[in-house]
């Protein structure tokens, strides 16, 4: 360690903590921590190892500093994020203020929110300067993906929020031991976070909320926010770093669940699935009777001719709204049982958490993110304050779930046989449809994905937006190149996985959903059978759809209920005009804003257009 670094560290780290950091012989790590400490000026720094005591200490700190408060059930705590009114709050990802720091001459494409590196750095450094005075900085080490595997990526976070660090302990594999094996490699993700000035334990300066990402240096800066999507650096912030790294190294980093679908006999077939936030991803990963590898982030690699996937995480930061015994029995059970769970932005009354859509009686008053809450409470603009936030969340370790897949920690991941893409689409796509082949699927299901916006990001809800691969917010490389990487991964595979499009949100003429939430169980079982060639399909201009009889049998077997021909006809109707309009919209976006879109994209779109016109 150079003198200057050592001097900076010795000022704030006592000898035990200094030794822990020095034991990782990595100059780039030492410099990163030293610079963070010099900039943010915490009173002290605690370096956490992988030990149970350190993890327990972080949890205790979160309670002692009142970022979290215990609930009645053992192990449960709650946390609130900032709230001024329904328009100004800290309870979703802030896309507006999440920017890439780019050097002059670098062009990431017009689509990405970017800022000149010098300008952005000086702004965020100004907000971070002295931000940790009076506080303890925590240094945490994590491994993204299973440890000791071709997929493993190392990450370090410096944060002054014990809630953030505690969340990370539930969500990620410990990585102190892995950092010790890194040698002097500079190839690791770095995240520097400060919650900034606090009022009532929440970030107060929301107007100075910034999340800035330096791709080349693999550093994320996050300040004046606590919402996990803006601060838990190894979630979406590192997904951006991972997409850039994967592009350089020839693999894929995706906003995807990984689930094992249990077919006839002992057969387990693995699928990955990309859905925008709050569009059924976690509940697909948690289907009753199936097993979950991951619910949010996956790394995929071609290994020995197979597409293999791992969960980047080992915990779930899930949307709690609509979790009820009927629709999400596994999660419901975990949220009712003792054991570590963090509830965020729920209503609390007498030590019990409540949320929207839980389908239980809820109290007329209690405490929520707006302070003391009572039914009918409004914000300063006269808008209703709901009892819990629509993007309220729970954080839980996956191994606590009875449906956790045995391959969660498998260093070689699971073999992917099918890939699913789904958005929130009220009027165009059928509930389930197989693509003709990989390229057709990547272009018409993945790269053409559109979805109506939700509460998971700040801003208006219900607006149809273009969201290729459900990854638009995180694609840190030119979009055409990213699509090309997805197209080309199959060149290394002995057999192409099947691609499916799903739509859980189709509505009828009366505006009501045409499907129940549980219907997705049937769609997944059908896909599983398709992978193995156990059922036939009907060819249409947009792909291959199920035969009525197969679905009728699966509805009976999986859900114990009848599925009528009339329901099938309505759900699987070919909406020619809507499908054509979608092709036009998508093509226009590529022509206007994706200069490096591959030519094959236009060819596949045009061929689909011609098939639709012929069908009409």
Chain contacts with Mn ion (rule: CB under 5 A): 277, 296
Instruction: Give the Cα separation of 601 and 616 in Å (integer).
Output: 23
Q: Which residue is nearest to ligand SPV (CB)?
A: 229
Instruction: Give the Cα separation of 448 and 588 in Å (integer).
Output: 11
Closest distance of CB 296 from Mn ion, Å: 4
Instruction: Give the Cα separation of 319 and 338 in Å (integer).
Output: 19
Max Cα-Cα span within the chain: 76
Closest distance of CB 94 from ligand SPV, Å: 10
Question: What's the DSSP call for residue 248?
Answer: H
Nearest of 284, 322, 167 to residue 229 by alpha carbon? 167
Decide if 247 contacts 479 (C-beta within 8 A): no
Nearest of 176, 186, 137, 179 to residue 37 by alpha carbon? 137
Beta bridge partners of 83: 89
User: β-pairing, 114-116 with 98-102?
Assistant: parallel
Instruction: Give the Cα separation of 158 and 153 in Å (integer).
Output: 17
Of these partners, ligand SPV, Mn ion, none, which one is at the site of residue 189 (CB under 5 to 8 Å by kind)? none
Q: Which is nearer to Mn ion, 296 or 433 (CB)?
A: 296
Q: Which residue is nearest to Mn ion (CB)?
A: 296
Closest distance of CB 180 from ligand SPV, Å: 28
Q: Which is nearer to Mn ion, 191 or 285 (CB)?
A: 285
Q: Which is nearer to ligand SPV, 443 or 456 (CB)?
A: 456
Instruction: Give the Cα separation of 343 and 241 in Å (integer).
Output: 28
What angle in degrees, to the nearest 10, is found between the helix axes of 576-593 and 599-615? 160
Decide if 25 contacts 183 (C-beta within 8 A): yes
Q: Which is nearer to ligand SPV, 95 or 367 (CB)?
A: 95
Closest distance of CB 456 from ligand SPV, Å: 4
Nearest of 346, 325, 326 to residue 336 by alpha carbon? 325
Instruction: Give the Cα separation of 293 and 414 in Å (integer).
Output: 9
CA torsion sign, 235 to 236 to 237 to 243?
Answer: positive
What angle in degrees, to the nearest 10, is found between the helix axes of 3-12 and 27-40? 50
Binding residues vs ligand SPV (CB under 6 A): 93, 228-229, 235-236, 277, 296, 317, 456
Of these partners, Mn ion, ligand SPV, none, which one is at the site of residue 235 (CB under 5 to 8 Å by kind)? ligand SPV
Q: Which is nearer to ligand SPV, 430 or 475 (CB)?
A: 475
Closest distance of CB 295 from Mn ion, Å: 8
Q: Which is nearer to ligand SPV, 161 or 269 (CB)?
A: 161
Closest distance of CB 194 from Mn ion, Å: 23
Residue 360 Cα distances to 17, 74, 325, 356, 529, angstroms: 47, 21, 10, 9, 37
Of these partners, Mn ion, ligand SPV, none, which one is at the site of residue 239 (CB under 5 to 8 Å by kind)? none
Q: Which tokens hold the place of 516?
A: 């129940």
Closest distance of CB 255 from ligand SPV, Å: 7
Residue 483 Cα distances to 253, 440, 447, 605, angstroms: 12, 12, 7, 14
Whether 279 is catalytic is: yes
Q: Which is nearer to ligand SPV, 229 or 422 (CB)?
A: 229
Closest distance of CB 142 from Mn ion, Å: 17
CA atoms within a 13 Å half-sphere pointing along the CA-CB vector of 415: 14
Instruction: Give the Cα separation of 294 and 416 in Å (integer).
Output: 13
Closest distance of CB 79 from ligand SPV, Å: 14
Instruction: Give the Cα separation of 436 and 456 in Å (integer).
Output: 32
CA atoms within a 13 Å half-sphere pointing along the CA-CB vector of 76: 19
Pick the catalytic residue from 40, 143, 279, 429: 279
CA 397 to chain CA centroid, nearest Å:
15
Active site residues: 279
């Amino acid at each position: 360690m150079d003198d200057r670094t050592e001097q900076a560290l010795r000022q704030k780290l006592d000898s035990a903590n200094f030794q822990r950091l020095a034991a990782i012989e990595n100059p780039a790590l030492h410099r990163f921590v030293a610079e963070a400490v010099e900039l943010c000026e915490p009173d002290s720094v605690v370096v956490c190892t992988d030990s149970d005591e350190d993890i327990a200490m972080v949890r205790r700190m979160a309670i002692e500093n009142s970022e979290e408060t215990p609930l009645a059930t053992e192990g449960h705590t709650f946390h609130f994020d900032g709230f001024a009114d329904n328009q100004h709050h800290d309870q979703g990802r802030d896309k507006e203020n999440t920017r890439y720091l780019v050097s002059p001459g670098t062009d990431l494409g017009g689509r990405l929110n970017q800022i000149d590196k010098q300008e952005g750095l000086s702004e965020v450094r100004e907000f971070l300067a002295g931000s940790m005075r009076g506080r303890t900085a925590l240094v945490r080490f994590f491994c993204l993906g299973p440890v000791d595997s071709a997929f493993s990526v190392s990450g370090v976070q410096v944060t002054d929020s014990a809630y953030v660090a505690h969340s990370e302990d539930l969500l990620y594999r410990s990585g102190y031991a892995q950092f010790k094996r890194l040698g002097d490699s500079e190839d690791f993700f770095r995240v520097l976070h400060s919650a900034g000035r606090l009022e009532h334990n929440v970030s107060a300066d929301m107007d100075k909320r910034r999340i800035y990402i330096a791709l080349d240096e693999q550093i994320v800066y996050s300040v004046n926010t606590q919402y996990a999507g803006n601060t838990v650096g190894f979630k979406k912030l590192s997904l951006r770093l991972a997409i850039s790294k994967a592009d350089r190294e020839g693999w894929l980093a995706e906003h995807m669940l990984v689930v094992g679908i249990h077919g006839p006999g002992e057969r387990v077939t693995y699928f990955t699935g990309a859905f925008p936030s709050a569009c059924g991803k976690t509940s697909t990963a948690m289907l009753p009777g199936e097993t979950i590898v991951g619910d949010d982030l996956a790394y995929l690699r071609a290994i020995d001719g197979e597409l293999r996937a791992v969960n980047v995480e080992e915990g779930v930061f899930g949307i709690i709204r609509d979790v009820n015994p009927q629709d999400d029995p596994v999660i419901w059970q975990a949220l009712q049982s003792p054991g570590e769970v963090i509830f965020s932005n729920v209503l609390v009354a007498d030590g019990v958490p409540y949320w929207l859509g839980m389908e239980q009686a809820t109290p007329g008053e209690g405490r929520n993110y707006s302070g003391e809450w009572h039914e009918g409470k409004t914000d300063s603009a006269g808008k209703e304050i709901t009892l819990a936030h629509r993007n309220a969340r729970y954080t839980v370790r996956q191994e606590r779930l009875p449906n956790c897949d045995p391959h969660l920690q498998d260093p070689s991941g699971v073999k992917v046989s099918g890939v699913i893409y789904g958005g929130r689409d009220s009027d165009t796509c059928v509930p389930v449809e197989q693509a003709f082949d990989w390229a057709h699927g990547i272009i018409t299901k993945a790269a053409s994905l559109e979805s109506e916006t939700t509460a998971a990001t700040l801003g208006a809800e219900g607006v149809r937006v273009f969201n290729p691969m459900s990854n638009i917010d995180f694609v840190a490389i030119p979009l055409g190149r990213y699509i090309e990487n997805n197209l080309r991964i199959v060149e290394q595979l002995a057999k192409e996985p099947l691609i499916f499009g799903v739509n859980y949100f189709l509505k009828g003429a009366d505006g009501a959903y045409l499907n129940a939430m549980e219907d997705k169980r049937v769609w997944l079982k059908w896909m599983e059978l398709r992978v193995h060639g156990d059922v036939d399909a009907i060819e249409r201009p947009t792909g291959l759809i199920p035969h009525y009889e197969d679905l009728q049998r699966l509805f009976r077997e999986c859900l114990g209920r009848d599925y009528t021909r009339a329901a099938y006809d309505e759900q699987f109707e070919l909406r020619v005009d809507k499908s054509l309009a979608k092709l036009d919209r998508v093509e226009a976006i590529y022509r206007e804003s994706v200069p490096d879109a591959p030519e094959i994209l236009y060819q596949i779109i045009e061929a689909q257009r011609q098939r639709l016109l012929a069908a009409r």
